[in-house]
Structure 1
Amino acid sequence: MTRAGLSSDGRHHEAFLEMLSAERGAAPNTLKAYHADLTDFAAHATAAGESASGASASTLASYMAGLARAGLSARTAARRLSCLRQFHRFLAREGLREDDPTAKLEAPRAGQTLPRFLSEAEVAALLRAAGPSGGLPERRQKLALAALEILYATGLRISEMLALRRDALSGDGQVLLVRGKGGRERIVPLSDEARKAAQELVASRVPSAPGRVDRPYLFAGRDPKRAMTRQGFDLVLHETAIRAGLDPLHLSPHVLRHSFASHMLAHGADLRSLQRLLGHADIATTQIYTHVLAERLQRLVELHHPLAVAARSQASNGGASTGGTSQPPELC
Structure 2
Amino acid sequence: MPESFTKVYIDAPSAAVEVHMKEPAEIGRLLALAKSRNPEIDITKAKVQAAKYSARQLDSARRKLLAASHAGLIPVDIHAIGVPRDGSSLELHVSDPGSAASETGKQRSSAFQSQVALTFKKGAPARPAKSRFDDWYDDPDSRYFGAGSLLLFPAGNACTSGLPAQLRNTPSRPILVTAMHCGLSGDKVTTGVTSHVVGTTFDGAPEYDAIPIDVRPGHTDAFGAESDHPGGGIYGFGIYGVSDSINGDYVCQNGYKSYVETGKTVCAIKVTDDDVAFNLCPGAGRPCYMVSGVHGTKMDSENGGIAARPGDSGALVFAIAKPGDVTRQARGIVSAVVTSSGGKVVSFTQALRILGRLNLDIANGQ
TM-score with structure 1 length normalisation? 0.30
Which of the pair has the greater relative contact order for Cα pairs under 8 Å at 6+ separation?
A: 2
Structure that is richer in strand per residue: 2
Question: Bigger radius of gyration, 1 or 2?
Answer: 1
Structure that is richer in helix per residue: 1
